[in-house]
């Protein structure tokens, strides 16, 4: 269970949100919604323990993040806005780097799942934007983490990829996992909970 408690965030002297509280339970998918610049990425970074809130705290399994940081990083898969991969490595090498304990056969399978069969041995910086995104997303197929925090996972992904990724996210929650994500695309998922960050007037 993840608790966001009374979170406030100020960036560049601008208050993005204040007093934001919510809980994410096993089996839930939560979409952080809001316009460009509303603070969605800022919130995800705070939830992932990568940035500090002005006020408030984040708890994982009932414990504040600073106390449980090691366990949290075992339980969390974070895919940021940027590709989240090492571009000088190949797709396969990326999966080996980020998931060193995964079985070799599962890495190949993950690359096949995201449509990268035949592109495994090419340096990622020579792949298209959508293919680069798919390398990062392949990590979901190897993930044993309970909590996935995903910033714009559908960016640059074609319709087939969107369907496949949506199914993967749904499967994760059906297996008791949690997904917190941002996306500007409509999500074809029945029970996604939305948290709206309201636009603040200057």
Ligand X SMILES: Nc1ncnc2c1ncn2[C@@H]1O[C@H](COP(=O)(O)OP(=O)(O)OP(=O)(O)O)[C@@H](O)[C@H]1O
Q: Give 12 or 190: the residue with its C-beta nearer to ligand X.
A: 12
Q: Tell me how far, at minimum, the Cβ of 198 lies from ligand X, in Å.
A: 11
Q: Give 133 or 146: the residue with its C-beta nearer to ligand X.
A: 133
The answer to whether residues 65 and 57 touch, using CB atoms and an 8 Å cutoff, is: yes
Query: CB-side exposure of 122: number of CA atoms within 13 Å?
Result: 13
Q: Tell me how far, at minimum, the Cβ of 143 lies from ligand X, in Å.
A: 23
CA distances from residue 35 to 9, 131, 138, 162, 172 in whole angstroms, order as listed? 16, 26, 28, 21, 27
Q: List interacting residues with ligand X (CB under 6 A).
A: 11-12, 16, 34, 36-42
Tokens, residue 6: 């009374």
Q: Give 61 or 82: the residue with its C-beta nearer to ligand X.
A: 82
Q: Give 79 or 116: the residue with its C-beta nearer to ligand X.
A: 79
Q: Tell me how far, at minimum, the Cβ of 16 lies from ligand X, in Å.
A: 6
Q: Tell me how far, at minimum, the Cβ of 81 lies from ligand X, in Å.
A: 7
- Cβ neighbors of 111 (< 8 A, separation 6 or more) are 91, 92, 95, 117, 119, 120, 138
Q: Give 52 or 105: the residue with its C-beta nearer to ligand X.
A: 52
Q: Tell me how far, at minimum, the Cβ of 43 lies from ligand X, in Å.
A: 7
């Amino acid at each position: 269970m993840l608790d966001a408690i009374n979170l406030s965030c100020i960036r560049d002297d601008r208050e993005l949100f204040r007093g934001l509280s919510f809980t994410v339970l096993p089996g839930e998918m939560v979409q952080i919604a809001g316009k460009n610049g509303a603070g969605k990425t800022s919130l995800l970074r705070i939830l992932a323990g990568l940035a500090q809130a002005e006020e408030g705290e984040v708890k994982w399994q009932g414990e504040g993040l600073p106390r449980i940081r090691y366990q949290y990083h075992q339980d969390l898969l974070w895919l940021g806005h940027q590709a989240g991969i090492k571009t000088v490595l190949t797709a396969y090498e990326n999966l080996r780097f980020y998931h060193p304990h995964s079985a070799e056969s599962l890495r190949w399978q993950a690359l096949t799942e995201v449509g990268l069969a035949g592109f495994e041995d090419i340096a990622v910086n020579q792949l298209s934007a959508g293919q680069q995104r798919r390398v990062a997303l392949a990590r979901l197929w190897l993930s044993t983490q309970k909590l996935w925090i995903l910033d714009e996972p559908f960016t640059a992904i074609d319709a087939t990829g969107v369907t496949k990724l949506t199914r993967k996210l749904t499967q994760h929650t059906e297996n008791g996992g949690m997904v917190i994500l941002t996306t500007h695309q409509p999500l074809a998922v029945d029970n996604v909970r939305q948290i709206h960050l309201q636009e603040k007037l200057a």
